[in-house]
Amino acid sequence: MARALAQEEPAQGVRYKVDRSGKIGKVVGSYLGSVYLRPPGGGLEWAVRPDTLRDPTPQELWTALSPTGTVGGGR
């Protein structure tokens, strides 16, 4: 039996990153040396330098994408 895609799992090809302040964002683009992120629950984009980003841990990603997670992945 095929397993349905769980809500906390990002769609294939969707990338999430953590900025220097610890906020998790979905990568929505890049322009003129900045990477643009959007909170997983939606909201305003913000720009960061690519060298300040890291991959989220599985726990951070699960927390940010869960229905009770803080918008923006705040701690």
When pLDDT is averaged across residues 1-21 and rounded to a whole number, the result is: 63
Band of residue 67 on the pLDDT scale cut at 50, 70, 90: confident
> Where does 16-67 sit in CATH, by number?
2.30.30
| Among 59, 72, 42, 74, CA closest to 8 | 59
Q: Tens digits of per-residue pLDDT, 12-55?
A: 567 999 999 999 999 999 999 999 999 998 899 999 999 999 99
Domain residue spans of the chain:
16-67
For 35-39, the CB contacts below 8 A with 24+ separation are 39/71, 39/72, 39/73
